[in-house]
């Protein structure tokens, strides 16, 4: 169920009931003619293949069927939270009509689409229409109780109640009240049944596997790119920072050796300068190592590392940790740097004066939540810090969720599978 159909206590709201009814009515009225048209055109086009006409028309018809089913997949994900990944086999762009026709007909996903069309005309139409009927039908009972029964045939049946007078009309109103009470609980669930029925026919294990492979391929590519960028950063920091200072120290030592007998005073100054340069080089090396893997993370674990991170922030930060043990080092490192990036974004862009961090493990997942009372409006987009966090978590099959309405608060939730 989508977030707009429940209030903070988890109970279904009136807005959610009305929204589910409107969506169901729209699906029933728009999808029924679309399903009938796609099904009839598909049957006619496939039947015309033996005489050659279907060779030309079938690819276009089946492409339309795919567009229709993909639109339903999109609505299932947006309105019902039911994901139905497509699993169509790729077709060469330069294929001739014969190859395209039989390539599409050999695709099991095509036949799932065609089998779904009659299901959507019948059971799908009913399950989509029921939410609206269940919500609107009680209004007729209320109208009968208010006097509509006087202009209707005698007897007029409302459900199982024969309306013949004012007393029976009040009974119809009472039945309408009972139906409205049932609609409060059943309307959103009936729309969910519609989308689950769609997934039962259109979905396939191969589709989910293909989607899984696609996601893993993208995250692996992102991980390789991120690793290469990190190596370049480390090389640049070493070359421009510690290495340059160590080279300067070596040159100072050579000058000191030449001046030690001639000008001891100047040699003493150069010794002090060399000592200062060596201290700065050591500081830069420590910062570089801390950026690769913080010592406190390796020694004391994720909870204490995040607490130490919070102490360095200019914003009051409260950290809550409930971790029964240590996760694997790569998982801890990914979680630490993800939390660090989110905290940095909150300090720089949110305008918050208080931040809360919660770390706990549940259902085999390491979950980190960062909440701030800033201005909100945070989104996951290209070039943003949150997009980088999402790529970092994706390497470990983790997920990132952001809730940041305008005006705040902002809640960023990160989950990483861990043993």
Average pLDDT, the chain: 76
Structure tokens at 301: 């674990």
- Residue 124: CB atoms within 10 A of its CB come to 24
| Any domain includes 211 | no
83 with 198, same domain? yes
Q: Give SS3 for 408.
A: coil
Residues 182 and 250 in one domain: no
Q: Is the pLDDT of residue 384 over 90?
A: no
Query: Read out DSSP for 258-306?
Result: HHTTT-HHHHHHHHHHHHHHHHHHHHHHHHHHHHHS-HHHHHH-HHHHH
Give the residue from 292, 311, 331 where a domain finishes: 292
Confidence of residue 2 (pLDDT cuts 50, 70, 90): very low
The answer as to whether 208 is a domain residue is no
Strand intervals (E) in 280-381: 316-322, 354-362, 365-372
Q: Are residues 174 and 229 in the same domain?
A: no
Q: Do 187 and 135 contact (CB within 8 A), yes or no?
A: yes
Residue 89: predicted pLDDT: 78
Is the domain of 194 the same as that of 250? no
Give every CB contact of residue 60 below 8 A, 6+ residues apart in sequence: none
Look up residue 65 and give its two tokens: 């069927």
Q: What is the CATH number of the domain that holds 249?
A: 1.20.5
Q: Among 297, 324, 298, 299, which residue's Cα sits nearest to residue 309?
A: 297
The pLDDT, as a whole number, for residue 200 is: 85
Residues 50 and 70 in one domain: yes
End of a domain among 240, 258, 292? 292
In this predicted model, what pLDDT tens digit does every residue of 305-363 receive, in sequence order?
A: 888 888 888 888 888 888 887 878 778 888 888 888 888 888 888 778 888 888 888 77
Give the end of a domain, one of 246, 268, 292. Answer: 292
The proportion of the chain whose per-residue pLDDT surpasses 90, expressed as a percent, equals: 6
Do 43 and 139 belong together in one domain? Answer: yes
Q: Are residues 272 and 413 in the same domain?
A: no
Position 11 pLDDT exceeds 50: no
pLDDT digits (tens, 9 = 90+) for 69-81: 998 888 888 887 7
d(CA 401, CA 338): 13
pLDDT for the residue 290: 55
Does residue 214 surpass a pLDDT of 70? no
> Is residue 207 over pLDDT 60?
no
Task: Report the domain count for the chain.
Answer: 3
**Cα separation of 171 and 162, whole Å?**
9
Listed residue (274, 257, 123, 139) closest to 198, CA to CA: 123
Q: Which residues of 168-194 are buried (b: 16+ CB within 10 A; e: fewer)?
A: bbbbbbebbeebbeebbebbbebbbbb
Token pair 């689409």: residue: 113
Interatomic CA distance for residues 171 and 169, integer angstroms: 5
Q: Answer for the pair 141, 169: CB distance below 8 angstroms, yes or no.
A: no
DSSP-derived 3-state class of residue 160:
coil
Is residue 79, in this structure, part of any structural domain at all? yes
Torsion (CA) 218, 203, 63, 94 in degrees, nearest 10: 40
Residues 138 and 172 in one domain: yes
Q: Is the pLDDT of residue 412 over 70?
A: yes
pLDDT of res. 7: 37
Give domain status of residue 210, yes or no. no
pTM > 0.85: no
- Give the residue numbers spanning the domain of 257: 223-292
Least confident of 107-116, 138-147, 220-229, 407-416: 220-229
pLDDT in tens, 83-142: 887 778 777 766 788 888 888 888 888 899 999 999 988 888 888 888 877 776 676 766
Say if residue 278 is in the same domain as residue 334: no
Give 79 or 228, the one with higher predicted confidence.
79
Name the residue with tokens 């409060």: 184
Asked if pLDDT for residue 40 goes beyond 90, the answer is yes
* Same structural domain, 276 and 330: no
Q: Which residue has the higher pLDDT, 12 or 210?
A: 210
Residue 35 forms part of a structural domain:
yes
Q: Does residue 378 sit within a domain?
A: yes
Taking Cα atoms as reference points, which of 178, 177, 161 lies closest to residue 169? 161
Name which residue leads in pLDDT, 240 or 262. Answer: 262
CATH of the domain at 363: 3.30.565.10
Q: What is the pLDDT of residue 65?
A: 92
Q: Are 413 and 302 found together in one domain?
A: yes
More confident residue, 167 or 233: 167
3-state secondary structure of 252: helix
Handedness of CA 260, 262, 265, 270 (dihedral sign): negative
Strands (E), 43-160: 156-158
On whether residue 194 sits in a domain, the answer given is yes
* Whether residue 276 sits in one domain with residue 312: no
């Amino acid at each position: 169920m989508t977030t707009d159909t429940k209030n903070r206590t988890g109970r279904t709201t009136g807005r959610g009931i009305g929204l589910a009814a409107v969506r169901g009515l729209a699906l029933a009225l728009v999808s029924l003619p679309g399903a009938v048209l796609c099904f009839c055109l598909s049957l006619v086009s496939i039947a015309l293949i033996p005489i050659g006409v279907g060779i030309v028309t079938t690819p276009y018809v089946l492409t339309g069927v795919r567009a229709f089913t993909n639109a339903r997949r999109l609505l299932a994900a947006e309105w019902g939270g039911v994901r139905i990944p497509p699993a169509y086999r790729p077709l060469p762009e330069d294929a001739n009509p014969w190859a395209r026709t039989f390539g599409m007909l050999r695709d099991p996903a095509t036949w799932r689409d065609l089998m779904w069309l009659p299901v959507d005309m019948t059971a799908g139409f009913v399950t989509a229409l029921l939410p609206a009927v269940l919500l609107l039908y009680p209004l007729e009972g209320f109208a009968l109780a208010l006097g509509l029964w006087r202009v209707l045939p005698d007897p007029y049946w409302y459900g199982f109640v024969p309306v013949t007078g004012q007393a029976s009309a009040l009974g119809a109103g009472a039945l309408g009240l009972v139906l409205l009470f049932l609609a409060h609980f059943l309307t959103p669930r009936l729309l969910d049944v519609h989308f689950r029925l769609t997934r039962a026919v259109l979905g396939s294990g191969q589709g989910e596997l293909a989607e899984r492979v696609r996601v893993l391929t993208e995250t692996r590519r992102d991980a390789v790119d991120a690793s290469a960028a990190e190596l370049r950063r480390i090389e640049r920091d070493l070359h421009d920072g510690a290495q340059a200072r160590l080279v300067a120290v070596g040159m100072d030592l050579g000058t000191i050796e030449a001046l030690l007998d001639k000008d001891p005073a100047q040699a003493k100054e150069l010794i002090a300068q060399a000592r200062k340069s060596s201290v700065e080089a050591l500081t830069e090396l420590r910062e570089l190592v801390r950026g690769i893997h913080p010592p406190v993370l390796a020694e004391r674990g994720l909870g204490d590392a995040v607490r130490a991170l919070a102490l360095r922030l200019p914003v009051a930060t409260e950290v809550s940790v409930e971790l029964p043990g240590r996760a694997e080092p790569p998982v801890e490192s990914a979680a630490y740097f993800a939390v660090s990036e989110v905290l940095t974004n909150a300090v720089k862009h949110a305008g918050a004066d208080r931040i809360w961090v919660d770390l706990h493990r549940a259902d085999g997942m390491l979950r980190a939540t960062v909440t701030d009372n800033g201005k909100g409006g945070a989104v996951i987009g290209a070039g943003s810090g949150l997009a980088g966090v999402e790529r970092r978590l994706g390497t470990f099959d983790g997920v990132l969720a952001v809730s940041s309405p305008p005006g705040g608060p902002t809640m960023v939730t990160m989950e990483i599978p861990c043993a």
